[in-house]
Amino acid sequence: MGEIIDGIRSNWEIMFLFRMIPRLMVTAVLCGLIGVEREHVNRPAGLRTHVLVGISAALVMITSEYLFHQYYEMANMDPARLGAQVISGIGFLGAGTIVKDGFSVRGLTTAASLWAVACIGLAAGAGLYSGAILATIFIYVTLQVMKNIMGKRKYYKVLRVRLLKIDETIEKIKIELEKSHIYINQTELFMLEENISEVRMKISISSEKSMLSAALEVIRNMENVSYVDIE
């Protein structure tokens, strides 16, 4: 009897192996597609990171299913329990891609894509190929296509200007920026010394960098302006 049980278990493990291979392959392809898009726009988490996250999530789901089939007669097991830990635990990796750059925060989309590929991996690992494929299509369209629908890409910079006197110079700077189609999103004023102040402006510009260069040249030549920098 023991040999029969061992034979059945061995055959079941072989069948499980053949079920596992396509799940991992589909996960690698789908998550790799999202990773390629992130790599293309030079984000810190690219192809390898997304594939690793997706395959790991799929393996967790496969392991959950394996343990459930192995021990369901001995204990009351929830096959989704390990997968739930992936969803909550992937946050630490996503948080590592979020960077505060001056007034701006970068990496939120990449953090969301990492969480998304983890969910894709869980779906593919559970054998829900249709859900994993559809989700990948929607996510890729969101990342790659919708940014073109939203219009011309804007770049956010921080303009730093040091002034000997505040008076009306700040207004002149704002007028010059608006004339060059450079828009101010936020302004901060710092007192460096008794007679020296620094204005920091978060500005949004299009890809037409020549307009920015011309505006900066005008600002540098303004009265009471001692220093101009952009970062």
pLDDT, averaged across the chain: 77
Is 60 exceeded by the pLDDT of residue 103? no
Highest mean pLDDT among 4-18, 123-137, 189-203: 123-137
CA dihedral 3, 8, 14, 15 (to 10 degrees): 170
Query: pTM for the whole thing?
Result: 0.60
| Whether residue 131 is found in the same domain as residue 171 | no
User: Which of 102, 126, 149 is the last residue in one of the domains?
Assistant: 149
User: Which of 149, 182, 213 is the last residue in one of the domains?
Assistant: 149
> Using alpha carbons only, what angle is made at residue 170 by residues 167 and 173, rounded to the nearest 5 degrees?
140
| Whether residue 13 is found in the same domain as residue 69 | yes
Is 70 exceeded by the pLDDT of residue 2? no
Is 50 exceeded by the pLDDT of residue 39? yes
Structure confidence at residue 9 (pLDDT): 55
Is 70 exceeded by the pLDDT of residue 61? yes
Structure confidence at residue 120 (pLDDT): 92
The CATH number of residue 159's host domain is: 3.30.70.260
Q: Which residues span the domain enclosing 27?
A: 2-149
CA dihedral 4, 8, 14, 15 (to 10 degrees): 160
Mean pLDDT along residues 74-87:
76
| Whether residue 166 is found in the same domain as residue 103 | no
Structure confidence at residue 104 (pLDDT): 57
One-character DSSP codes across 72-99: TTTS---TTHHHHHHHHHTHHHHHTT-E
Mean pLDDT along residues 106-118:
82
User: Which of 149, 177, 195 is the last residue in one of the domains?
Assistant: 149
Is 70 exceeded by the pLDDT of residue 4? no
